[in-house]
Chains A and B, each alone.
Chain A
Amino acid sequence: GQSLEQPSEVTAVEGAIVQINCTYQTSGFYGLSWYQQHDGGAPTFLSYNALDGLEETGRFSSFLSRSDSYGYLLLQELQMKDSASYFCAVRNSGNTPLVFGKGTRLSVIA
């Protein structure tokens, strides 16, 4: 089986930095992905980590430590529009579909 754990809710101040953690338990591992979903919208792909380390894309970065079965999404210079749900997702192998976490609802406040 497989499971992913991420906090259900996070609140942060506009302009600040926030880190959303994800720990996973899987029989195999084929990468960690992150998705963003605004209320009423569809999930959209943010990032993918196959190897250990930090991947940066603008204000967003994603980190992976395979030895710790752990990753995080880092959002810098928070903006109100970053208020959304963020999902981590993993694959066991190249032939199995993504399994999503239950999501973290980020609220950015002024």
Chain B
Amino acid sequence: DVKVTQSSRYLVKRTGEKVFLECVQDMDHENMFWYRQDPGLGLRLIYFSYDVKMKEKGDIPEGYSVSREKKERFSLILESASTNQTSMYLCASSFSGADNEQFFGPGTRLTVL
């Protein structure tokens, strides 16, 4: 089975802290994505990557950065966490050319106090 894992299920941080969210997939997928999910807003794309060392901004990249040093790992970084970044963060991956089928991790519920 395809497995996408995220480093934490729940995370509580303080305003101004630097936050790292890690995502690892074990299916050799080229594509990886970070979304945030808020009630009534659906899934909004923060950043994505179609290859190692490559990154592209999604719809809401402000306040976030990413790192993809290895194919299987895609990290989301909140440089200085703010309360409006309290959300559910979902990582996903897919094969190149088959992006319509994405595989999601279990999500990280981040609370910024």
List the interface of chain A (C-beta within 8 A of B).
8, 30-31, 33, 41-45, 48, 87, 89, 91, 94, 97-103
Contacts and interface: CB of A to CB of B under 8 A. Distances in A.
A43 B42 contact: no
B100 interface: yes
Given A42-B106, A97-B48, A102 B100 contact: no
Contact of B45 (A31, A44, A97, A102): A97
A33 B105 CA distance: 18
B97 A100 contact: no
A94 B106 CA distance: 26
Contact of A100 (B31, B43, B107): B43
A43 B100 CA distance: 13
Given A42-B90, A45-B102, A102-B40, A97 B58 contact: yes
B74 interface: no
B42 A103 contact: yes
Question: DSSP majority for the A interface?
Answer: loop
Interface residues of B, number: 24
Contacts of B59: 99
Nearest to B43: A100
B12 interface: no
Nearest to B42: A102
Given A97-B45, A97-B58, A44 B100 contact: no
A87 B92 CA distance: 15
